[in-house]
Amino acid sequence: MDFNGKTVAITGASRGIGADAARQFAAAGANLALLARSAEALDDLAAEIGGNVLVAACDVSDHAAVTEALGKAHQRFGSLDVLINNAGVIEPIARLEDADPAAWAKLIDINLTGVFNGIRAALPLMKPAGGGTIITVSSGAAHNALEGWSAYCSSKAGAAMLTRALDLEERANGIRAMGLSPGTVATQMQRDIKASGINPVSELNWEDHIPAEWPARALLWMCTADADDHIGQEISLRDEGIRKRVGLI
């Protein structure tokens, strides 16, 4: 997969799926715009992978900051070809009657409004060039309620609908909109879930989770023509057929 000359922006790039996706796209030759709240972690990752990397320490819930970051990437590299909406948080994990309203709203701001902010900032940069790919990292939680996860499930369900709305409105303008549901992934989020002790996901063993490299490789594949039959859809890495097409089996 050759991404030489292509510019890929990744939110939540400082760790987990985002960081592994950055490594995958860098190895494929892409120019990278890495967005996350931790400037130090982004700088460390950029130093590790080398190549053409722009880092932007920002909160995806801040529309102006996301717009500025993507604009700088477009100005520096001359294009914005791919946006990976990956940034997301799991807290607050709490039953509805106990959830802190401010924390609940902040999760929605990051997991849902943050996806909108990325889309809204990317479209004016992609469309004049004939289009681009926008992928949002989804979750099985978008389709199934789980105890203590009202905020997370609601945000992921909303983000899945945003992907469908984006496809409806912009497919004819060259925008390839897709979602990726990776399953449970061995990242810090799963450690936080384990510590909560709430709902069956917290009972899973560490070895039950897939490595972050798997969804990272899937994201790379989704940006190629081989995935065109899934435009407008949500892809699940629990699907053995998808794993085969990605090259994970």
Catalytic residue set: 152
Q: Is the dihedral of CA 65, 66, 71, 72 positive or negative?
A: positive
3-state per-residue secondary structure call for 143-212: CCCCCCEHHHHHHHHHHHHHHHHHHHHHHHHCEEEEEEECCCECCHHHHHHHHHCCCHHHHCCHHHCECC
Helices (H) and strands (E) in the chain, counts: 9, 7
Q: Are 121 and 45 in contact (CB under 8 A)?
A: no
CA distances from 18 to 13, 116, 150 (A): 4, 18, 24
Q: Which amino acid is at 112?
A: L
Sheet holding 31-36, edge to edge: 53-57, 31-36, 7-11, 82-85, 132-137, 175-181, 234-236
